C-alpha cells in the first residue's frame, strides 16, 4: 500500500492509497447530427416541474417523479421537419427522465435523440463490496439536473449509467461504458456539444505505450465489473472520444475520481504559477508519440477532480447525511450560482472552496468528524488546445 499522493513520485506498481474513509481511491472503506429539433417548454402533470421537450414527442417520462403522460407536442409533420438524429440507433437512456418512443410498445432501442447536445453520465457504486462508494448516485442526479436546468440539454440526449438502472444495457459495465462512449461521438458534426461525466473509482497502472506518460503510469477509470473485465485506460478513452472529434465539435469531460488529472491524455495542462494560470505541455520530453492522440479538428476539455498523484474525496459535509463527490458538488453549486463564470473563475473558486475546507477543518468539530484526513486534491483542467481561460465562458 502506497500512501504517498505527490504527483512527482513515480510508482512502478499500481498505487493503492493508505487506509482512509473519504476518498474515491479503490479499497477505501467509504468512499449526423442534423439541425436541432424544435423544442417547447412543458409542465409535468405529476410534479409540475418545468422542462424542455422536443416537438416530436408523443409521450414523456418525467425524470423527477417518474410519471408518464401523453404530450400534445408531437405530430407526424413535426417528426418529418425536426431532423431527428439518424445516427443514434443504440439503446438510449430512457429511464430516469428520457423521451419515450411514439408508441409505448416500441423497443427502447428506437432512439429519439435529436439536436446537437449529447451526454453520457456514469456513476458507479460497486454494489456491496468493501470499496463501495456512497455518493455516486447523488452525483449523477446532480449532474443530470445541471445539464437539464442550466445548459438546456434535451432529456432524450442524456444517457445515464448506474447500477440502479433496470435496462441491462445501462448498467455501468466496461462494455456498456465503452458502447456509450462510442454512441456519444458517433457521427458528431460541427457545433455539437458533447459531455462525458464519470463518478467512481480511479486508479493508475504501468503505461502500455512506452514513453507516453510523464510519470510512467496510465490513468484508469473502474467500471462496476473491473475486477473481472479490467479497467478502462486513458488511452482507450482518448481513442474513442477525443480522436474522432471533428472541426467545430466540443467535448467536455468531468471526471470525479482519484488519479484523474490526465484521464483523457490531452496535450495541455493548466497550471498555476506565481498567482496566474498558464498552459503547460503534457507530452513527455522524450516521447515518440505522434499527434494521433489528438482530435480530428475539434476541441476536448477535461475538468478532473484532482491531479494524477492525488485522491478525490467523497463527503457528506455539504448535504446533510447524503454523500457527494466533493468536486462534483462544488462544481455544480458554483455553476448554478455563477452561470456566466469563466474557466479561470471556475478553477479559482474550486481551489478557494477546497482551501476553505482546509482552514476550517481544524476549528470545526463537524468537519473534523467528516474529513478524517486532509483533503489533498487540486481540481485540474486539461485541453487539446490552448485558450484564454480568463475570458472564455464555461458552457456545455
pLDDT reported for residue 245: 96
394: confidence class by pLDDT, cuts 50, 70, 90: very high
pLDDT reported for residue 355: 83
What the block records as the C-alpha cell of 320 is: 446533510
Q: Which of 326, 368, 325 is nearest to 351 (CA)?
A: 326
**Residue 201 catalytic?**
yes
What's the pLDDT tens digit per position in 131-151? Answer: 899 889 999 999 999 999 999
Average of pLDDT values for 20-46?
49
| Inter-residue contact 60 to 108 (CB < 8 Å) | no
Average of pLDDT values for 202-207?
80
pLDDT reported for residue 112: 37
Q: Picking from 135-144, 167-176, 315-324, 325-334, which range would have the lowest pLDDT averaged per residue?
A: 315-324
286: confidence class by pLDDT, cuts 50, 70, 90: low
Q: What is the pLDDT of the chain when averaged over all its residues?
A: 74
| Inter-residue contact 380 to 263 (CB < 8 Å) | no
Q: Picking from 64-78, 257-271, 277-291, which range would have the lowest pLDDT averaged per residue?
A: 64-78
Tell me which H or E stretch contains 88.
none
What does the alpha-carbon distance between residue 117 and residue 73 come to, in Å, rounded to a whole number?
Answer: 20
Length of the chain: 396
Q: Which of 101-110, 241-250, 357-366 has the highest mean pLDDT?
A: 241-250
Cell 400534445: give the residue. Answer: 72
What's the pLDDT tens digit per position in 264-278? Answer: 999 999 988 777 899
**Residue 258 catalytic?**
yes
Q: Which domains does the chain have, with CATH numbers?
A: 123-383 (3.40.50.12660)
pLDDT reported for residue 378: 86
259: confidence class by pLDDT, cuts 50, 70, 90: confident
What does the alpha-carbon distance between residue 189 and residue 290 come to, in Å, rounded to a whole number?
Answer: 24
- Regarding pTM above 0.85, the answer is no
Q: Which of 365, 384, 167 is nearest to 281 (CA)?
A: 384
What does the alpha-carbon distance between residue 160 and residue 140 come to, in Å, rounded to a whole number?
Answer: 8
Looking at 5, 85, 122, 201, which residue is catalytic? 201
User: Residue 226 pLDDT more than 50?
Assistant: yes
User: Residue 366 pLDDT more than 60?
Assistant: no
pLDDT reported for residue 128: 84
Q: Which of 62-66, 134-138, 241-245 has the highest mean pLDDT?
A: 241-245
Looking at 25, 258, 270, 306, which residue is catalytic? 258
Amino acid at each position: 500500500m502506497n500512501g504517498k499522493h505527490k504527483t512527482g513520485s513515480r510508482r512502478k506498481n499500481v498505487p493503492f492509497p493508505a487506509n482512509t474513509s473519504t476518498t474515491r481511491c479503490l479499497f477505501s472503506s467509504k468512499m449526423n447530427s442534423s439541425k436541432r429539433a424544435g423544442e417547447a417548454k412543458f409542465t409535468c402533470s405529476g410534479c409540475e416541474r418545468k422542462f424542455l421537450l422536443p416537438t416530436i414527442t408523443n409521450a414523456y417520462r418525467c425524470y423527477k417523479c417518474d410519471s408518464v403522460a401523453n404530450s400534445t407536442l408531437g405530430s407526424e409533420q413535426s417528426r418529418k421537419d425536426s431532423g431527428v438524429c439518424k445516427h443514434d440507433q443504440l439503446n438510449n437512456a430512457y429511464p430516469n427522465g428520457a423521451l419515450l418512443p411514439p408508441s409505448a410498445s416500441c423497443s427502447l432501442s428506437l432512439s429519439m435523440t435529436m439536436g446537437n447536445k449529447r451526454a453520457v453520465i456514469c456513476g458507479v457504486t460497486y454494489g456491496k463490496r468493501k470499496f463501495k462508494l456512497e455518493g455516486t448516485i447523488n452525483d449523477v442526479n446532480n449532474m443530470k439536473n445541471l445539464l437539464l436546468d442550466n445548459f438546456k440539454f434535451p432529456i432524450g440526449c442524456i444517457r445515464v449509467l448506474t447500477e440502479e438502472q433496470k435496462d441491462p444495457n445501462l448498467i455501468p459495465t466496461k462494455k456498456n461504458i465503452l458502447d456509450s462512449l462510442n454512441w456519444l461521438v458517433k457521427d458528431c458534426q460541427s457545433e455539437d456539444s458533447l459531455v462525458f461525466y464519470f463518478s467512481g473509482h480511479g486508479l493508475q497502472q504501468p503505461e502500455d505505450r512506452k514513453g507516453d506518460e510523464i510519470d510512467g503510469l496510465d490513468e484508469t477509470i473502474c467500471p462496476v465489473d473491473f475486477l473481472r473485465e479490467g479497467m478502462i485506460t486513458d488511452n482507450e478513452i482518448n481513442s474513442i472520444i477525443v480522436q474522432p472529434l471533428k472541426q467545430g465539435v466540443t467535448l467536455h469531460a468531468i471526471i470525479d475520481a482519484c488519479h484523474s488529472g490526465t484521464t483523457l491524455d490531452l496535450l495541455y495542462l493548466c497550471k498555476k504559477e506565481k498567482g496566474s494560470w498558464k498552459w503547460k505541455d503534457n507530452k513527455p520530453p522524450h516521447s515518440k508519440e505522434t499527434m494521433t492522440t489528438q482530435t480530428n479538428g475539434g476541441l476536448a476539455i477535461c475538468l478532473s477532480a484532482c491531479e494524477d498523484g492525488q485522491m478525490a474525496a467523497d463527503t457528506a459535509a455539504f448535504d446533510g447525511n447524503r454523500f457527494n463527490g466533493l468536486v462534483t458538488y462544488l462544481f455544480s453549486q458554483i455553476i448554478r450560482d455563477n452561470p456566466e463564470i469563466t474557466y479561470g473563475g471556475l478553477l479559482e473558486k474550486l481551489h478557494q472552496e477546497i482551501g476553505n475546507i482546509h482552514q476550517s477543518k481544524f476549528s470545526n468539530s463537524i468537519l473534523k468528524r467528516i474529513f478524517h484526513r486532509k483533503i489533498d486534491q487540486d481540481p485540474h483542467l486539461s485541453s487539446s488546445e490552448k485558450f484564454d481561460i480568463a475570458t472564455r465562458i464555461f458552457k456545455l
